[in-house]
Amino acid sequence: IAVFQQFGQQIERLRLEMYKRLADVRALPEVDELRAELVDRYGEPPEAVEVLLEVARLRVRVRDAGMTEVTSAGPNIRFAPLKLPDSAQMRLARVYPRSQYKVAAEVALVPRPKTAPIGGQALRDRELLEWTRTVIDTLVPAEAPANA
């Protein structure tokens, strides 16, 4: 029994170490390196781990876009601070109908997407993370690499 307890403690320590490393990620290549390490150690990760990796990717993109907050706010997803030029405000209204942009507060409220316009369920998990990254990419295009 002591061997099983020791093994369980080691697994818990490794799991916490991976969570910490994911939280410390600052660039997309770091997420890819961490995923490769996980695959090397444990094989293909389960869906829950893939979602955690997507969260890390989204956190990097949010930071790169200059935002500190992407949260659920009722039926909307709130992006802040987000300073949008007039052209990006028009793009927001065109691509995401019923969105609101509050200039003074530098906040965009985008209706949370659903699986269908009428009677659909709100997107969740990986689909919601991917949609959120698409919204950010639409409003704040990523900078081209310096050597491009």
pLDDT of 4? 58
pLDDT tens per residue across span 103-141: 999 999 999 999 988 889 999 999 999 999 999 999 998
pLDDT < 50 regions, the chain: 144-148
What span, in angstroms and rounded, lies between the C-alpha atoms of 129 and 55? 7
pLDDT of 3? 61
pLDDT of 143? 73
What span, in angstroms and rounded, lies between the C-alpha atoms of 138 and 115? 20
Q: Are 62 and 137 in contact, with CB atoms under 8 Å apart? A: no
